[in-house]
Structure formats: structure tokens, C-alpha cells
Amino acid sequence: MIEIKNLYKRYHNHHGSDWVLKNINLVIPKCVSVGLIGRNGAGKSTLLQLIAGMDTPDKGEVIRHSRVSWPVGLSGGFQGSMTGRQNVKFVARVQGGSRQEILRVIAFVERFAEIGDAFDEPVKTYSSGMRSRFAFGLSLAFDFDVYISDEATAVGDRLFKEKAREAFAEKVGQSSLIMVSHSEGVLKELCEAGIFINDGEAQWYDDINEAIDAYHNSYPVVAPINDLEKSVDSFDFSGFVSAKKEMEKARINYQQKRDKYAQLRDIRNERLNDGYA
């Protein structure tokens, strides 16, 4: 279980310091996978980082009663001059793994990432795609109670995306997942409940479909077709007609001047050829 109590978060910049998140009070139950939903800039990733412990709130607190992962696919903490194998070994040791556990983690990441001999090359030589696959495999190599994901299933090519979804689906059967994704299909497939973030506030929904509906309903209502037709019928198009006539006059005038210039140019060229220049 994860408790979020009276949480506030903002970032200070030259444009002011409005609250990104304000007065968030939530309890995320154990073994319930949750999707975070909201518009771009609503604060989904911010809340995810606060839950993961990668950032701290300005007010309030996040209480974790379970083992929470770092964001799946996070690659910012790798040592570039070390090989993939060395990085995995280091992280496994930090996590307190035994020698047997470390060997298991290394084998899992090497198999999952599918980067071949590059696994024994410095991480700084990896392409962005290789780095994403490597980071994703490392995140899933450990058993957490709660996995944190910020668009992790969007990395890589089509086959790897499918592999990532399958890996998440397998983890959901054993642990829970808190994720951000712009794919409603992924959210419906992997999540049971939803948190809709709007204007800095968060609303819990027991059903992910209800959270998605709340997100869609938050957009301005589009005027009915018949209202639009009435607006078109009452619009004064006389200005467009006169503007169109002026444009046509200008086009004809331009064409006449261009033809005159072409005639003068041809006469000049003929005189040059005849030696009169």
C-alpha cells in the first residue's frame, strides 16, 4: 500500500511558481495496478517521480508500505565507461543480492535486452534504442511489490514493444503497476484503477474506464453541427468576395507585366545576336 497525504509540489521558474500538484490525498491499495491519466503537463510524471522517491514534495508526504521500483527503463544512472555487464553487476550488488542472485540478474538482462556482444561494451557506445532495451531489462530483473512506468512500453521497435507489454502483463500477475501511458489500450489492458489529474488535483477511480471517461469529459464541448450550420448561414461573405476580386485583378496585372518583360528580354537577346549591342 502507498499513502499520499496532503501533497503539494511546484517548480520555481521565471514564469511564476504555480502548484503542479496540490492537496493530493490518495491511498493506492496493495496489488492494484493504477493508470495515471491527464493532459500533457498535468503533473502525471511529477506524481510518478514523487511516488518512486526520485523527487520530494514541497508539502505533505508519500508513505510506502511496500518495495517500489525506480521508473522502469530509467537509464540516467548508468556509468558510461563501464560495460553493460558491469553496470548490471553493480546495481545487483547495491540491491543486496547474493552471488547467485547477481548471476541470475545478469543472465536475465543479457537475454531480455537482446543487444548481443554490446552487453560487454561500454554503455556510452550504445545507441538510444540499445540503451532503452538494456535499461528496461534491468528494471524488470528485480522483484518489486510495485513497478513504476512512465511510457516504458513506448520504447523500441514493434517487436520489442510487444515484448515489453508481455513482460508487464506477467509482472502484473505477481506485483502491481503504477504507470503513465498515452495509449488507452495499454492502460485498459494492464490497469484496474485510474487516477485522473486535472488542474493540479487528483481523483481516484476504482475502474480505469471511468478515469478515461472523466479525462475525455474534461475537454470543452464542441458545438453541435446544427449550431455550426446556423453560424455559417448567418456569416457575411461579402468581404471574401471583394477580396477575391482584388486578388484576381492583381494576378492579371502581374501576368501582363511578366509577359511585357519577356518580350523586352527577347528583343534585347535578338539585338545582341545580330551584333547591334
Determine the pLDDT at residue 228.
Answer: 54
Confidence label for 15 from pLDDT (cuts 50, 70 and 90): low
Q: Is residue 17 part of a domain?
A: yes
Report which DSSP code applies to 13: B
How many CB atoms sit inside 10 A of residue 191's CB? Answer: 26
Q: Are residues 255 and 210 in the same domain?
A: no
193-198/59-64 β-pairing: unpaired
Domain range for 244 is 227-274
Asked if the model's pLDDT at residue 13 lies above 70, the reply is: yes
Supply the CATH number for residue 159's domain. Answer: 3.40.50.300
pLDDT in tens, 148-205: 888 765 556 677 777 777 877 777 767 888 989 888 888 998 889 999 999 999 999 9
The amino acid that residue 114 corresponds to is E
Q: Are residues 157 and 252 in the same domain?
A: no
Report how many helices (DSSP H) and strands (DSSP E) the chain contains, helices first: 9, 9
Query: How many structural domains are present in the chain?
Result: 2
Q: Are residues 212 and 77 in the same domain?
A: yes
Q: Is residue 232 part of a domain?
A: yes
Q: Are residues 109 and 165 in the same domain?
A: yes
Alpha carbon of 226 to those of 122, 180, 220, 234, 236: distances in Å? 63, 38, 17, 12, 18
pLDDT in tens, 50-85: 998 889 999 999 999 988 888 776 766 788 899 999
Q: Is residue 222 part of a domain?
A: no
Q: Are residues 192 and 235 in the same domain?
A: no
Q: Is residue 26 part of a domain?
A: yes
Predicted TM-score (pTM) of this structure: 0.69
